[in-house]
Amino acid sequence: MNRKLGAAAVIVAVAAATFVSVPAAQAAPRQLRAVDATVITEVTPVGIKATGLAVEYDGTVDLGSVEIDTAAFDVDVTLTRPGMAPATGKRTVVDAYSNDDTSFSDQQKPGRFIILELDDDDALAPAVSFVGREYFYNLHGAYTVSQVQSIVGNVPRAGHSGHEVNAQRINGHPGRDVTNSEVRNLIIEDFGHGTFVADSGTTLPYRYFTPKLEQGKSYPLVVTLHGAGESGTDNFAQLAGNQLATAFADPARQARHSAYVLSPQTNPSDSNMGRWPTPTMVQTVVELVEQTLADNPQIDPDRIYISGVSMGSMGSWSVLQERSDLFAGALLICGRGDEAAAVANLSDFPIWAVHSIDDANVAYDAEGSDYRIFRAFEDAGVTVTWSEWSGLGSDVEKEAAAAEALDRAHAEGSSHLFTTFPAGTTPVFPHGSWIPTYTNDVIIDWLFAQ
């Protein structure tokens, strides 16, 4: 045997054996760690609440179909604002899943985030406190989250050889808290902002929502006037205090009625700008609407609506008595105005008003109240459709009641509808008759039909 040939053959054999050998054990996948968090807020019927937390990891979370145990996370919150002792406590996680961005989803997706949906009935869910008016908490750095249990997925990880290794595992790290650095305000973030200067020199901050526009199509405009509690200089409270504005920009509502939304804010520290019904503010609102119409050629000038809550309802009555020709319909909640002026100028103008009978902030039967104005309409021979139902019923029950009232209005040829919530049937407090109103699709559909 030729030794050189034999040696070469051995080398070739060894090389071949090395090439086809069983692969070495793969290194364990890198452990993911939570590195940041984002608080997610939504404007509910009773105001803005923190309803979710997006926990960010330093790599892609891919757990397959494994459901994440909500007990895997502890969430603590400390809410502060000037002049108030901190409010601290825990939040309840009601659902958890991975996602590719900081939003809610109806299905789990691979991504850098684990979304924690939080119970909106938690005592510390509100992002606002009420002490005469709304005071909004600073949510940046208010939430801390710790993953206290390990999470194991069911998607096998393949090495470069094609052989499977262990499914993804994210180890718990109790006591290593991650504090949120960001806040995401759903729907509110879709509003632009600006400042309008009227001919009088009055400046008025405002927020505006633009729908998804299609070429050649026109869209209605909804003008909203907030209540006294949402006054300020932050250009935020008029969107966050309740659903007066955001209800119209909600994706589900936009799918039903695509529309522009315009939401200015009064300044309570300015004697001319503190209240909507003043002549200065009425004229400023009118000019802002006219300018918005001029700047947005796809607004349908025949479908401009106004809606107001409390002081905003008072302002709406004043605006309509001056320039009802600008508008096609109004939805007015727990306000008051000038009875004689309303009868003289608005007897043919479509209005649906809602007012709780036990309202202590704007008395139901006080001079100039919504109720008294509608009585004045009726006394003047204007057909009014009256209705009464509980604001505490289910959405189905409340919409059925509204539909019955609307059917009667159509049968009577009435464009004036008045709804009363009986004593003790308004959610949260008797003045809050807007709470069950802006979730009622029948009432909103009526407005957009004008």
- 66 and 141 housed in the same domain: yes
| Cβ neighbourhood burial of 441 (10 Å; 0-12, 13-18, 19+) | middle
- 179 and 213 housed in the same domain: no
Q: Per-residue pLDDT for the chain (450 aa), expressed as one digit of tens each?
A: 333 333 333 333 333 333 333 344 444 567 899 999 999 999 999 999 999 999 999 999 999 989 999 999 999 999 988 777 899 999 999 999 999 999 999 999 999 999 999 999 999 999 988 765 678 999 999 999 999 999 998 866 555 444 444 578 999 988 899 999 999 999 999 999 999 999 999 999 999 999 999 999 999 999 999 999 999 999 999 999 999 999 999 999 999 999 999 999 998 776 655 689 999 999 999 999 999 999 999 999 999 999 999 999 999 999 999 999 999 999 999 999 999 999 999 999 999 999 999 999 999 999 999 999 999 999 999 999 999 999 999 999 999 999 999 999 999 999 999 999 999 999 999 999 999 999 999 999 999 999
- Per-residue confidence (pLDDT) for residue 17, from 0 to 100: 35
Q: How far apart are the first and last CA of the chain?
A: 105
Q: Is residue 359 part of a domain?
A: yes
- 221 and 359 housed in the same domain: yes
Q: Is residue 81 part of a domain?
A: yes
- 177 and 222 housed in the same domain: no
Q: Which domain-ending residue is among 164, 185, 206?
A: 185
- 200 and 320 housed in the same domain: yes
d(CA 337, CA 358): 19
Integer CA distances (angstroms), 361 to 330, 371, 402, in order: 21, 14, 25
Q: Tell me how crowded residue 315 is: count the other CB atoms within 10 A of its CB.
A: 28
- Determine the distance from the C-alpha atom of residue 34 to the mean position of all C-alpha atoms in its chain, rounded to a whole number: 27
How many domains would you assign to the chain?
2
Q: Which domain-ending residue is among 170, 185, 200?
A: 185
- Per-residue confidence (pLDDT) for residue 133, from 0 to 100: 61
Q: Which two tokens stand for residue 399?
A: 């919409």
Give the position of tokens 């003008």.
Answer: 223
Q: Which domain-ending residue is among 132, 159, 185?
A: 185
Contact indicator for 373, 438 with CB cutoff of 8 Å = no
Q: Is residue 176 part of a domain?
A: yes
- 168 and 299 housed in the same domain: no
Query: Helices 279-295 and 311-323 sit at what angle, rounded to 10 degrees?
Result: 70
- 229 and 87 housed in the same domain: no
Q: Which residues constitute the domain of residue 49?
A: 34-185
- 232 and 143 housed in the same domain: no
- 379 and 334 housed in the same domain: yes
Q: Is residue 406 part of a domain?
A: yes
- 365 and 219 housed in the same domain: yes
Q: Is residue 262 part of a domain?
A: yes
CATH of the domain at 281: 3.40.50.1820
- 174 and 192 housed in the same domain: no
- 286 and 401 housed in the same domain: yes
- Per-residue confidence (pLDDT) for residue 2, from 0 to 100: 38
What pTM value is reported for the model? Answer: 0.89
Q: Is residue 357 part of a domain?
A: yes
d(CA 222, CA 232): 21
CATH of the domain at 132: 2.60.40.2180
φ, ψ of residue 104 in degrees (nearest 5): -75, 155
CB proximity list for 201: less than 8 A, separation 6 or greater: none
Q: Is residue 19 part of a domain?
A: no
**Strands of the 47-61 sheet, one edge to the other:** 93-99, 111-118, 47-61, 34-44, 182-185
Q: Is residue 4 part of a domain?
A: no
d(CA 291, CA 35): 46
d(CA 89, CA 69): 21
- Per-residue confidence (pLDDT) for residue 175, from 0 to 100: 87
